[in-house]
Homo-oligomer: A and B are copies of this chain.
Amino acid sequence: MALIEPRTLKGFRDFLPAQMIPREKLMETARTVYRRYGFVPIDTPALELLEVLTGKGSEETDRQMYHFTDAGGREVGMRFDLTVPFARFAAQHINELGTPFKRYHIAPVWRGETPQAGRFREFVQCDFDTIGTTGVVSDIETALVIHELLQAIGIDQFQIRINNRQVLAAFLQAQGLENSSTAVLRALDKFEKVGGDQVKKELENAGLNALQADSVLALAAMRGSNDELLSQLATMVTGNEIGEQGVQRLRDLTSALRAAGVPESRYRIDVSIARGLDYYTGVVFETTLGELPSIGSICSGGRYDNLAGLYTKQYLPGIGASLGLDRLLAALEQLGRIPKQPRSADVFIALFDPNGINDYFRLASIVRAAGWSAEVFPESKKLAQQLKYADQRGFRVALIAGSDELAKGTVQIKDLMNKISTEVEWRENPEQLSQALRTMMRLSDDTLLA
């Protein structure tokens, strides 16, 4: 029979253990941090009725969506983000759940877009949202969660960039640009990437006069400490109620971050942050890595006015953000923070004597009871071959016992990094083995995400 060529679809990929171990660890860290703040997990189906998914979608989203007619003749699609399903979910269940409702959702989404370098057709989103409240408390909490999340992942140098759409709205109004807001916000968002000249050209193409275009550029170029920017912005929006509210929210937010002990270097008001999406109405966030700003924002979000208007008349304002898992992993890899060699377990147990299998399992069970993971090699191959395997898999320690040692109730503990061996008695006194392991483990260092 002819073989089928084993391959994945274009734009899709397998995760080998070397990639999946840090991936799982990141997701676990996100879950832990979200839970510490009272967010709870939900899940929704990968497949939904097309009508539900396309409700708000632009033509572009529709084109990117995987959709088909199922066996029952229904038009269905695979979710392309976690926001639309959350809106449908909230409309359906909010009466049972009550508000405020804080949920997180970590799950894959699919987009049939043309694959580019670093873009895939299947990727994981890690969203957290608070709905049913307009208070500044949730603005503050969202920023604190982003901050704690990146710290928990082990990143020191990052900056949360903060802006407020109300401030931008006041600016647009003052310049008579309400009707060009999409073009202006898009141009603002690009400012850092493409520079002032290019942005100016785009703005003029969008119909702005030179004066208007210059005012947008002046806004984007505003720099200063958080306090300096707050007073500049306050002056700019004076007399515009919406704008004043926006500046007050920014002031409350930065003051709360300061009071919470978040270092000043970690958050910065940046009026050029607009976030492309139309639905943000208040605070917006982006987060950049100090060591790799070029990779773009790895955690973004903001406040929106009404989540689920397509599905319910119930007013559900909220705020949320999303960790870009794949982008962050790409960054950590580029920064050399992901070990090349995944360790399948801490302790390797060589299988020497086929009649001693029960003893090897007993050794493994002592190791696990002491808190480490252990792997028993499944076949009695040559020791050199087994140790090569252990080396390739990045084990720290090997336990080696032949028939003689098993008869004596002893085992060789070998540190695979420093090549030191010691023999310990374990059968009568398992604690001696745990103790020796503890000593040896202290000698080897752990890498981030190992």
Contact = CB atoms under 8 A, between A and B. Distances in A.
A284 to B, nearest CB: 18
A403 interface: no
Interface stretch (A85-93, A204-212, A268-276, A417-425): A85-93
Interface stretch (A163-171, A180-188, A356-364, A426-434): A356-364
B342 A40 contact: yes
A3 B312 CA distance: 6
A308 B68 CA distance: 30
> Chain B CB within 10 Å — which of A35, A52, A88, A361 has the most?
A361
A344 B38 contact: yes
A6 B133 contact: no
Nearest to A130: B378
A197 interface: no
A49 B7 CA distance: 8
A137 B365 CA distance: 14
A59 interface: no
Contacts of A6: 52, 88-89, 91-92, 308, 311-312
B16 A96 contact: yes
Contacts of A344: 38-40, 102
Interface string A87-118: 01101110011101011000010101000000
A45 interface: yes
A174 interface: no
Interface in A35-72: 35-49, 51-52, 55, 66, 68-72
Interface stretch (A229-237, A238-246, A255-263): A255-263
Interface stretch (A138-146, A220-228, A332-340, A439-447): A138-146
Range of interface residues on A (Cβ < 8 Å): 35 or more
A48 to B, nearest CB: 6
Interface stretch (A17-25, A154-162, A285-293): A17-25
Given A5-B311, A16-B42, A140-B357, 9 more contacts: A6-B52, A7-B52, A8-B44, A20-B43, A23-B43, A37-B374, A38-B345, A70-B112, A137-B376
22 contacts: A3-B313, A4-B52, A6-B311, A9-B45, A9-B74, A12-B48, A16-B93, A17-B40, A20-B42, A35-B345, A35-B373, A38-B375, A39-B344, A40-B342, A46-B122, A47-B110, A47-B121, A71-B112, A133-B378, A256-B357, A256-B361, A260-B358
Q: Which 6 A-B pairs have the closest CB atoms?
A: A38-B375, A68-B68, A38-B345, A259-B358, A17-B40, A12-B45
Interface of A: 1, 3-10, 12-17, 20-21, 23-24, 28, 31, 35-49, 51-52, 55, 66, 68-72, 74, 76, 78, 88-89, 91-93, 96-98, 100, 102-103, 108, 110, 112, 121-122, 130, 133, 135-138, 140-141, 144, 252, 255-256, 259-261, 308, 310-313, 342, 344-345, 351, 357-358, 360-362, 365, 368, 373-380, 389, 392
